[in-house]
C-alpha cells in the first residue's frame, strides 16, 4: 500500500479498525475532525464474543449515527439465568436487544464510516509512533491525535508507556455458531460448576454459543454435557462456524492517555465478558474521547473513562462472585425466582436504566432475599 505522507495532516489517526476504533472515528467525524483508521486486517473483522448488543449499546451506536438493519440481527427481549433446576428471567425495561454476528456489526460500522468520510487503510501495518504522527510500515503519516484501539494486547499501549495496570484478571472464552432456530426470546446465561455458557439468538435459524471459564484448555464439546438442556437442543445441529477462542481480561490501567495519545476499548482496559457490556462501554468511551479531542485536552478523559467503567465493573464483580460461590448463586437464584421484580431491577441496573438510589435499594432487597431464600 502506498501512503501519501500528507494525507493525515492535522487528523485524528486511529490504530485499530474493529468496533472500538470505528466508533472513535465516527465520534471524531461528528466533531468535524478528519479521521484516518488503519488496521493490518481487512473487513469484515471477526472476534469471538457473545454477540449480544444490549439496549444501551444500541442507543450508544445510534448516537454515533449507526442504525442496525433488521436483516442483520435478531431481536431478543431480555435475559434468562439458568443454574441447575433453577431459572429466572426478565425483560429489558426499555427497548429490545439484538443478537448480531460480529462480522455483520463490523460491516455495518464500516459502511457508516465510509459514508461520513473516514479514511480507511486496510492491510496497513502501523509500526510505531512518531512525535509528528505514526509510522505506517516505517513511513511517517502526520496526525495531531493518535487513538489506540488495537485490542487487549495493544502495541500502542506499550509504545506509549501506558502498559501499567492497577488490576488484571483473565478468563478464557470460546465461541461457535449452531444452525438451529432460537428456542425463546431471551439471551440465556447458563451457570455450571466450572464455566458459564451464553446462548444468543443471532438470526431466525442460528444461535451463538459462547463458553467462558478459568480453564484455557476447556472447549465447548467437553463443556456442553454439563448443560443437558442446551446440549439436547444442539444435538445434531450443524455448525455455523468453527470454534474460536479469545482471552477476556478484567484490567484497570493506571492511565489511559499520555500526551496526544489516548486508548479506547480493550486497549484501555476492560471488564469480564460475563457482563456483555464491552461494546457499549467502547461506544461510550468514543463519544467521551471525541469531546475531549474537540476541547484540545485529554485530562478529562482519564477521570470520565473510569466513571464510565464503574457500573460494568461493579456488575462484573457481582456476577463473578456468583460464578465462584455456587451456594450463594443458588440462594440468589431462589430469591430471583420467588421475587421476579428483583431480577428485573437487577437487569435494569445492568443496562444503565436505574439510578444509584435504585442500586442501593436493590442491594438491600437482594440481601434480604438471600436471607429468606
Q: Where are the alpha helices (DSSP H) in the chain?
A: 19-30, 55-63, 102-115, 155-160, 220-223, 228-234, 278-295, 299-324, 326-338, 340-350, 356-372
Domains 12-73+99-167+252-315 and 169-247 share a fold: no
Is residue 323 within 8 A of residue 196, CB to CB? The reply is: yes
Percent of the chain scoring above 90 in pLDDT:
77
Confidence band (pLDDT; 50, 70, 90) for 6?
Answer: very low
CA angle 54, 60, 66 (to 5 degrees): 100
Measured between alpha carbons, how far is 298 from 46 in angstroms, rounded to an integer?
A: 30
Domain boundaries, the chain: 12-73+99-167+252-315, 169-247, 325-372
Q: What is the pLDDT of residues 304-346, one digit of tens each?
A: 999 999 888 888 888 989 999 999 999 999 999 988 898 998 8
pLDDT computed for residue 313 by the predictor: 87
Of 12-21, 134-143, 159-168, 253-262, the poorest mean pLDDT is in: 159-168
Residue 361 pLDDT > 60: no
Confidence band (pLDDT; 50, 70, 90) for 355?
Answer: low
| Mean pLDDT, rounded, of the chain | 91
Which helix (DSSP H) or strand (DSSP E) does residue 211 occupy?
A: strand 206-213
| Phi/psi of residue 320, nearest 5 degrees | -70, -30
Residue 7 pLDDT > 80: no
Of 35-49, 156-170, 195-209, the poorest mean pLDDT is in: 156-170
Q: Where are the alpha helices (DSSP H) in 18-151?
A: 19-30, 55-63, 102-115
Residue 358 pLDDT > 80: no
Grid cell locating 336: 430471583
CATH code matching the domain that covers 169-247, chosen among 3.40.47.10, 3.30.9.10, 3.50.4.10, 1.10.10.10: 3.30.9.10
Residue 362 pLDDT > 70: no
Grid cell locating 274: 460475563
pLDDT computed for residue 275 by the predictor: 85
CA quadruple 17, 310, 96, 57: dihedral, nearest 10: -20
pLDDT computed for residue 368 by the predictor: 43
Torsion region of 84: left, alpha or beta (phi above 0 gives left; psi -120 to 50 gives alpha): left
**pTM score, two decimals?**
0.91
Residue 17 pLDDT > 90: yes
Grid cell locating 202: 443471532
- State the fold for domain 12-73+99-167+252-315: FAD/NAD(P)-binding domain (3.50.50)
Q: Strand pairing partners for 146?
A: 13, 261
Measured between alpha carbons, how far is 231 from 222 in angstroms, rounded to an integer?
A: 11
pLDDT computed for residue 122 by the predictor: 97
pLDDT computed for residue 249 by the predictor: 85
The closest of 40, 91, 49, 37 to 286, measured between CA atoms, is: 37
Q: What is the pLDDT of residues 87-130, one digit of tens each?
A: 999 999 999 999 999 999 999 999 999 999 999 999 999 999 99
**Residue recorded with cell 460461590:** 325
CA quadruple 319, 324, 325, 328: dihedral, nearest 10: 0
Q: Where are the alpha helices (DSSP H) in 155-212?
A: 155-160
Q: Are strands 74-76 and 119-122 parallel, antiparallel or unpaired?
A: unpaired
Is residue 79 within 8 A of residue 18, CB to CB? The reply is: no
Q: Is the peptide bond before 323 cis (omega within 30 degrees of 0)?
A: no
**Average pLDDT for residues 180-205, to the nearest whole number?**
96
Q: What is the pLDDT of residues 219-270, one digit of tens each?
A: 999 999 999 999 999 999 999 999 999 999 888 999 999 999 999 999 999 8
Residue 207 pLDDT > 50: yes
**Residue recorded with cell 510500515:** 137
Grid cell locating 28: 471524531
Amino acid at each position: 500500500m502506498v501512503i501519501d505522507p500528507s494525507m493525515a495532516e492535522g487528523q485524528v489517526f486511529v490504530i485499530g479498525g474493529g468496533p472500538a476504533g470505528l466508533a472513535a472515528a465516527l465520534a471524531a467525524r461528528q466533531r468535524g475532525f478528519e479521521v484516518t483508521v488503519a488496521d493490518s486486517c481487512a473487513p469484515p473483522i471477526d472476534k469471538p464474543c457473545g454477540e449480544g448488543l444490549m439496549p444501551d449499546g444500541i442507543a450508544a451506536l445510534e448516537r454515533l449515527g449507526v442504525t442496525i438493519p433488521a436483516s442483520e440481527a435478531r431481536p431478543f427481549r431480555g435475559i434468562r439465568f439458568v443454574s441447575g433446576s433453577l431459572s429466572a428471567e426478565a425483560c429489558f425495561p426499555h427497548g429490545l436487544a439484538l443478537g448480531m454476528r460480529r462480522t455483520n456489526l463490523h460491516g455495518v460500522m464500516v459502511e457508516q464510516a465510509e459514508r461520513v468520510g473516514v479514511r480507511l487503510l486496510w492491510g496497513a501495518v502501523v509500526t510505531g509512533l512518531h512525535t509528528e504522527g505514526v509510522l505506517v510500515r516505517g513511513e511517517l503519516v502526520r496526525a495531531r491525535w493518535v487513538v489506540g484501539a488495537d485490542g487487549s494486547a495493544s502495541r500502542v499501549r506499550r509504545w506509549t508507556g501506558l502498559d501499567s495496570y492497577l488490576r488484571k484478571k483473565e478468563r478464557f472464552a470460546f465461541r461457535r455458531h449452531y444452525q438451529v432456530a432460537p428456542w425463546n426470546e431471551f439471551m440465556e446465561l447458563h451457570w455450571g460448576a466450572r464455566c458459564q455458557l451464553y446462548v444468543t439468538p443471532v438470526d431466525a435459524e442460528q444461535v451463538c454459543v459462547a463458553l467462558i471459564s478459568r480453564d484455557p484448555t476447556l472447549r465447548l464439546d467437553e463443556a456442553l454435557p454439563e448443560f443437558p438442556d442446551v446440549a439436547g437442543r444442539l444435538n445434531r445441529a450443524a455448525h455455523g462456524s468453527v470454534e474460536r477462542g479469545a482471552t477476556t481480561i478484567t484490567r484497570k490501567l493506571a492511565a489511559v492517555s499520555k500526551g496526544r495519545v489516548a486508548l479506547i476499548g480493550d486497549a484501555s482496559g476492560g471488564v469480564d465478558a460475563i457482563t456483555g457490556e464491552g461494546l457499549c462501554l467502547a461506544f461510550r468511551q468514543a463519544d467521551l474521547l471525541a469531546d475531549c479531542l474537540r476541547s484540545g485536552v485529554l485530562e478529562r478523559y482519564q477521570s470520565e473513562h473510569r466513571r464510565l467503567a464503574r457500573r460494568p465493573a461493579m456488575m462484573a464483580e457481582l456476577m463473578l462472585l456468583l460464578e465462584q460461590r455456587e451456594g450463594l448463586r443458588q440462594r440468589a437464584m431462589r430469591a430471583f425466582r420467588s421475587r421476579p421484580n428483583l431480577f428485573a431491577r437487577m437487569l435494569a441496573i445492568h443496562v444503565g436504566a436505574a439510578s444509584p438510589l435504585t442500586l442501593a435499594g436493590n442491594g438491600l432487597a437482594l440481601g434480604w432475599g438471600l436471607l429468606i431464600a
